[in-house]
Chains A and B, each alone.
Chain A
Amino acid sequence: MRTRAAAEQTILRVNLSNGTMRREPLPAEWTRQYLGARGMHSRLLFNEIPPHADPLGEENILYFGAGPLDGLPVGNGRMSVACKSPRGTVAEGSFGGFFGPEMRRAGVDYIALHGKADRPVYLYICDEHAELRDASHLWGLTTDQTDDALRRELPDADVQLRYIGPAGENGVHASVILGNRNNSGGRAGCGEVMGSKKLKAIAVRGTGGIGVADYPAFVQAYQTYRQRLDLATSRDAWTPVWSTYGAPVLARLFAEQGNLMTRNAQQMHWESDKAVRISAEAYLDRYVTKAKACFSCPWPACQKLHTIPDGEYAGWQGGNYWAGQPVVFGSLLDIDDLDFVLALSILCNRYGLDIFHVGFTLAWAMECYEKGILTRADTDGLELTFGCRDRQGLLELVRKIALRQGFGALLALGCSRAARQVGKGSERFCLAVKDQELEAIAQRSFYMVALGVAVSEVGPDHTRWYPPYPCNPNLLPPEELAALGIHLDLKKAFEGRNPEEKGKLLRWFSISRAVVESLPGCVFLVRDTLGLDMRPWWQMFRAATGMEVDYFEFLKAGERVINLERAFNVREGFRRADDHPPYRMANEDVPVFGFRRLSPDIFDPMLDEYYDAMGWSLTTSIPRAQTLQALGLADVAAALQACGVEVEA
């Protein structure tokens, strides 16, 4: 068996235009500076994609990347996918599953896809072997059909796959890449870019092994990490809930707390009986057939497989019911039938559509319909009301989004571009930031979320600051926090509707989560103290790679990642004015409990505090020269200046 060192990081460059390929090692010091996965991608994106490149053209590069902890029993199979988004920003997303470890075992840590194929292809990698294969017979297939077809064609049960569905092929906004049937990622634009390159799928099989530098130290660090997360020992109320029932338990609570976006967030409360009908408890009872997990996850059943047992969608199978679906297909559309919510979700996965795009864009369209801005003449005759009585019609509309047909072609643009096309004030109902739809968590009751969503370099993405809920502040007393470099009043920082400390809290979240996503590990596993005390992650990294790196130097990697991603966006023209909540959140009060809109007196000081804490210009959001210098990113400042960007000292 071929053995590699955990620290080794190799990139496979594939030119889709001419079919050439080569493997090259990445600079060893990059592992120390950017760790891997998302971090490595931040450097590659900035260095290799020319400013103002056409996102759907030959110059854009799509990266798939694992990292030093992938393939080890702590990487959770997480991996990063990145490119320039069709919206102009960085597009980066992560997903779980088994693909990342398989890449590592094949000796390929990163795949860079340059150029564009002239006909549909898929990339097949098996250890040292790599080839582009014809994918004409796969083009147009749904993701489940593609998975089945490739498994027949590549008769090795352990081959790992990533593929797009018809949505990605057709350049539908926010379409995702999927793998292991139900793990999706890259909603920031990666599916569209993969489709533009005519790359239907990647298949990888690796038979090697990965050696760690200090095995006993690695096992010891694993034990600490595992104790923080294990059902029996985790000091966290989320651990038993998330690891078995799952995040949708939140919908029942949020429904009455002014925290659940209902009817396109016109309301923020939902009737309790409706929330019970689509609850995690109802899901586990009626639909779940089996526990599932990503590679090496310490939790028993964060994921599940489900089958709709009877009724109109009897036999429909899928997987995973996260915090997103009960909001985007439940309260947001005022649908309280879990069969139908799951059917919508299953259909999105089959077609490779992003559930947040589909949910928020449907909700926008329903509000337009309610207010007479859109009529049956626009919707191909569909009565597009909240609650949606015409279920067959709504499912058909989702298909039409993926295929860009009829009214679906408008919604395939995403809510922002659709609203700009329709006009008539419909922009005010569009819940998006940087032209990307929001996610599940309310903003006017969780200010940290509002700030995190507004500043995110990739558009709304909860993994950049998850979780927004307080860990128990008693776990780490202030002096211990200070020793860990966290100078925050945690109690104040975790108060949902208090703007104080939010900028500093978000800085910590942004940096520490960037570290986790670069190792990579799973950001949903920052429970107990693992989101504040990063030493177990640091110890695992050191033991795996053998790199002697100081704790605070290790955390700086996360800071470099955020600054590089910000610099990429700055070079493309994004500035402070783009870091703003959607119109509704900034201009309309919540109609319960007197929760206020995110008016400038609330939002602006949080934004100032964040930029200040990051060392960025308060007026432009551009990283300051001294900030970049201190992170060893002087070349980034120079590159920005060379493009005519004014970098403050």
Chain B
Amino acid sequence: MSAKTLTLRYVAHFSTISGCLEEVYTTRAASVRQLIDALDQRYPGFAAALVDPASGRLRLNAAVYLNPPAQPPLSLLDLDRPLEDGAKLTFW
């Protein structure tokens, strides 16, 4: 699995968890879910704020936007969506 370079943006309360507004992040995560798990190691509480532990789905009070390279953004509900190199993700 090749490394991907992603731009990550933290909106509002996700910036209180991460301590930054935006960062460039290199990862081998294959899906959004794996990325969230990796980020949870860096930022404790990150996954809990996004993923409902009971269902494993996106929490109803959280949102993820995905901008695939050069395409309009998508509001993401499926956390198992594969990640592309160069994508931008927004967490709130």
Contact = CB atoms under 8 A, between A and B. Distances in A.
A–B in direct contact per CB < 8 Å = yes
Contact of A241 (B13, B21, B75): B13
A244 interface: yes
Given A240-B13, A249-B92, A235 B61 contact: yes
Contacts of A276: 21-22
B11 interface: yes
Q: Is the interface of B mostly helix, strand, loop or mixed?
A: loop
A280 B73 CA distance: 21
B61 A240 contact: yes
Contact of A258 (B62, B72, B88): B72
B36 to A, nearest CB: 15
Q: Which of A234, A252, A475 has the most chain B CB atoms closer than 10 A to its own CB?
A: A252
A236 B60 contact: yes
Nearest to A280: B12
Interface in B48-65: 60-63, 65
Interface string A563-605: 0000000000000000000000000000001010000000000
A135 interface: no
Contacts of A252: 9, 11, 21
A272 interface: yes
A257 B12 contact: no
Contact of B88 (A244, A256, A474): A256
B15 interface: yes
Give the bracket for the number of chain A residues in contact with chain B. 20 to 34
A321 interface: no
B61 A281 contact: no
A234 B61 contact: yes
Given A252-B9, A470-B75, A237 B22 contact: no
B75 to A, nearest CB: 7
A338 to B, nearest CB: 14
Contact of B22 (A240, A272, A472): A272
Interface string A221-262: 000000000000011110111001100010011001110000
Interface string B14-34: 010000011000000000000
Interface of A: 234-237, 239-241, 244-245, 249, 252-253, 256-258, 272, 276, 279-281, 470, 472, 474-475, 593, 595
- Counting from the closest, the 8 A-B pairs by CB-CB distance are A235-B60, A237-B63, A245-B12, A241-B12, A593-B72, A240-B13, A249-B11, A257-B73
13 contacts: A237-B92, A240-B61, A241-B92, A244-B13, A245-B12, A245-B13, A252-B21, A253-B9, A253-B65, A253-B73, A257-B72, A276-B21, A593-B71
Given A252-B9, A253-B65, A281-B21, 11 more contacts: A235-B60, A236-B60, A237-B63, A244-B12, A245-B13, A256-B73, A256-B88, A279-B21, A281-B11, A472-B60, A593-B72
